[in-house]
A and B are shown apart, each in its own frame.
Chain A
């Protein structure tokens, strides 16, 4: 017996739009999200303690999304963390009040994206944070990443984070972008399709130039120095394939580093449920294979938003609506929706171009593996250096599962979500295989760390019905 017609995983722009659309056509809908409120990362609800800051377009969009979702009649399970699923579909989560299992014949996975990381010596020091994490600190908490910050990596988040730090009164010691200037120019066609977003990016750039922030293109961090935290950062040039070249290094004093190399679709759920995936570098890497209605190879399993391929926040709601129409058609409810679906699909493809161009810009070329030094910690959870992983690869490890089995890389509490791409890059560098050939990690429950007590609930050994021993 199903609890709902549809379960949506993720209450960001894609998941919320999917739920609202499905509700408007009469389906019963549950939405599950890890965060305390809907909005996802991009429209993350500000901390309730942060009562008044400057008006912010993202905040307003988030408030509108939360209001519409609340009014839709979809049931939102906030603060719930999905840790396992079975086909058919059962969704198993942990919430503030304990375990939750929900069943539905249709599932839309709108799990968003996670950040891609290329490790650098010193990136485990306190004060080195992800670029995406920096947006959480700045937007949701009103906290600066540091007093004097190096913002490094690739992709549009570099400019966003640097400009937010400057706007909040912090100092950006340098922006360090591995992509050459020409990378942005090569994507200009897609960017010109969205003059509004171009203007947003140009505004960030202008604010940085005005604050005299040095912007190093075609450069990367070589070492982050410090004892108890970040004290300085050494940067140096990289070639077009992102390999460090030459000894034109410079060392910059800084107390924090924001680091990230674009976004990866979060595909744990579709992998766990056995859906087929394809490698699409323009969409951030491995994505679920889908039909025109965004249904995966598993009947009833749909995807939307950045988890279906990183296309950005503007495209996300359209993909959510498209997936919702797909679910309704499959359930045989809602009449003829083909014309509406075609229109939404057209708008979705148009609005995807900009986000996909940004995603491609952040994508590391194969040579980027040369940025990782032998002594650099790659797997933070298990404390594994590149040298240890390279040794395992030299000894025959050819897949991420091989590396996991032989070194424990990816077996720690993060589940390989921080180090997985770097480990795949190392296999690629040693074998000459491209990223598609190296393949994906397997997904296994628990998808998130789960306290055993949260699963067992009020279970107590004393409650076990043990019969009294027979008299001797």
Chain B
């Protein structure tokens, strides 16, 4: 899936963050799950059970599918606002 899914509207400052080493951008305050999804980074991890790709599903802190690692701590991407310089690793 190509392109950015953000609807053209006025946004405040843009910040940058890293996801598995790749430099990406977000609007300041946007949640990590929304920023990754909007830029086509929809696969956040591989399932331990069927090795299939998984990504954010509920976007409201219920399903735990969007869990990523920040500073070694498991965190839901949908409840984490992006700030400049945030370093995010996927959970393998």
Contacts and interface: CB of A to CB of B under 8 A. Distances in A.
Interface of A: 34, 36, 41, 47-53, 81, 114-115, 124-130, 132-134, 136-138, 140-147, 168-169, 228-229, 255, 377, 380-384, 412-414, 417-418, 448-449, 451, 453
A417 B64 CA distance: 10
Given A51-B12, A128-B57, A377 B50 contact: yes
B42 A126 contact: yes
Interface of B: 1, 3, 5-7, 9-13, 27-31, 34, 37-38, 42-44, 47-50, 52-65, 67, 73-74, 78-79, 81
Given A380-B65, A412-B64, A229 B9 contact: no
Contacts of A50: 9, 11, 27, 30
Given A50-B27, A255-B1, A451 B73 contact: yes
28 contacts: A36-B81, A47-B29, A47-B31, A47-B34, A50-B9, A53-B10, A114-B62, A115-B58, A124-B54, A127-B1, A132-B58, A132-B60, A137-B34, A138-B7, A140-B34, A141-B34, A142-B6, A143-B6, A143-B38, A169-B7, A229-B55, A380-B54, A383-B49, A384-B49, A417-B62, A418-B58, A418-B63, A449-B74
Given A49-B11, A146-B1, A229-B55, 20 more contacts: A41-B60, A47-B27, A47-B30, A49-B27, A49-B29, A53-B7, A124-B47, A126-B55, A129-B57, A133-B56, A136-B59, A136-B78, A143-B7, A143-B34, A144-B6, A228-B53, A229-B42, A229-B53, A418-B57, A418-B62
A147 B47 contact: no
Contacts of B49: 382-384
A53 B30 CA distance: 15
Contacts of A451: 73-74
A114 B55 CA distance: 19
Contacts of A168: 7
A126 B12 contact: no
Nearest to A168: B7
A42 B63 CA distance: 19
B25 to A, nearest CB: 12
> Which of A48, A141, A382, A449 has the largest count of B CB atoms less than 10 A from its CB?
A141
A119 B37 CA distance: 22
A49 B7 contact: no
Contact of A133 (B1, B29, B58, B81): B58
Contacts of A124: 47, 50, 52, 54
B30 A49 contact: yes
B34 A130 contact: no
Contacts of A414: 62-64
A49 B37 contact: no
Nearest to A417: B62
A52 B10 contact: yes
Contacts of A381: 64
A128 B65 CA distance: 12
The SS class assigned to the B binding surface is loop
Contacts of A51: 10-12
B30 A228 contact: no
B30 A126 contact: no
Contact of A380 (B27, B63, B74): B63
A124 B49 CA distance: 12
B31 A141 contact: yes
A423 B50 CA distance: 19
A378 to B, nearest CB: 12
A142 B9 contact: yes
A328 B53 CA distance: 51
B37 A137 contact: yes
A125 B65 CA distance: 11
A263 to B, nearest CB: 12
Contacts of B28: 48-49
Nearest to A129: B57
A132 B62 CA distance: 11
Given A47-B27, A143-B7, A168-B7, A34 B61 contact: yes
B65 to A, nearest CB: 7
Contacts of B12: 48-49, 51
A133 B60 contact: yes
A348 to B, nearest CB: 26
Contacts of B43: 126, 228-229
Contact of B7 (A48, A144, A229): A144
A10 to B, nearest CB: 13
A147 B7 contact: no
A229 B36 CA distance: 14
Contacts of A169: 7
Contact of A53 (B9, B13, B57): B9
Nearest to B9: A53
A360 B31 CA distance: 33
Contacts of A126: 42-44, 53-56
Contacts of A114: 62
Contacts of B27: 47, 49-50
A127 B29 CA distance: 22
B30 to A, nearest CB: 5
